[in-house]
């Protein structure tokens, strides 16, 4: 996922494959922990769009392991990903729900992935160490909120927290810093606030 305002050369090299910068993930997790989120490393985690290849690690699993998480299930549709399960997340059925689902989804499938992730996250009665139910965390453009087609859904499914990255990201395969701002959006399953807690990091 990245802004479409890139050169023809960048588009050719990228093939719509954007690995989230590791430091951006570290910045988010650090800020989230300061707010009391992602402190319990015993929680189960799913990254449904894990990415990675022979020369590059899976971004979110790499950083989550740095922060002490070890129950991480990884999925990706790309055959060259070093993930645990290859396939289309949208077609997958899991034997159990997850405490945390976190990823950088393809922009054109973001809503479908978010909605499925909310289904696959633990129900409030099952979740451990969460303010509400399981938590879903997605990296998206900041203007993801500004859409008439998504407005009705957001009115019923407002993120609980939004962490806005003040530094623009430079995605893997990109020759320059991306042209727009990004944020980590956080939903708690079963919790539907009318307004989000917003923090710039």
pLDDT digits (tens, 9 = 90+) for 63-117: 999 999 999 999 999 999 999 999 999 999 999 999 999 999 998 999 999 999 9
| Helix (H) or strand (E) run with residue 162 in it | strand 161-164
| Rounded alpha-carbon distances, angstroms, from residue 101 to 9, 58, 111, 147 | 33, 15, 14, 24
Q: What are phi and psi of 156, to 5 degrees?
A: -100, -15
| Spatial separation of the C-alpha atoms in residues 9 and 32, rounded to whole Å | 36
Contact 160, 196 (CB under 8 A): yes
pLDDT digits (tens, 9 = 90+) for 146-194: 878 888 999 999 999 999 999 888 765 555 555 688 999 999 998 989 9
Domain boundaries, the chain: 8-200
Instruction: Answer positive or negative: Cα dihedral of 68, 129, 132, 94.
Output: positive
Architecture of the domain delimited by 8-200:
3-Layer(aba) Sandwich (3.40)
What is the reported pLDDT for 76? Answer: 96
pTM, two decimal places: 0.87
């Amino acid at each position: 996922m990245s802004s479409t305002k890139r050169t023809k050369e960048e588009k050719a090299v990228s093939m719509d494959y954007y690995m989230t910068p590791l430091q951006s993930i570290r910045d988010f997790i650090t800020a989230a922990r300061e707010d009391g989120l992602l402190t319990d490393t015993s929680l189960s985690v799913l990254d449904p769009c894990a990415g990675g290849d022979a020369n590059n690690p899976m971004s979110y699993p790499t950083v989550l392991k740095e922060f002490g998480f070890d129950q991480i299930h990884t999925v990706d549709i790309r055959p060259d990903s070093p993930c645990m399960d290859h396939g289309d997340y949208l077609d997958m059925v899991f034997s159990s729900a997850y405490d945390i689902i976190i990823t950088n989804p393809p922009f054109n499938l973001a809503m479908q992935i978010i909605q499925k992730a909310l289904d696959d996250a633990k129900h409030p009665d099952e979740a451990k160490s969460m303010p509400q139910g399981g938590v879903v965390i997605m990296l998206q453009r900041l203007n993801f909120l500004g859409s008439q087609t998504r407005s009705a859904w957001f009115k019923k499914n407002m993120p609980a927290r939004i962490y806005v990255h003040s530094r623009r990201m430079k995605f893997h395969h990109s020759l320059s810093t991306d042209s727009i701002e990004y944020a980590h959006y956080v939903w708690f399953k079963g919790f539907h606030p009318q307004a989000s807690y917003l923090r710039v990091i």
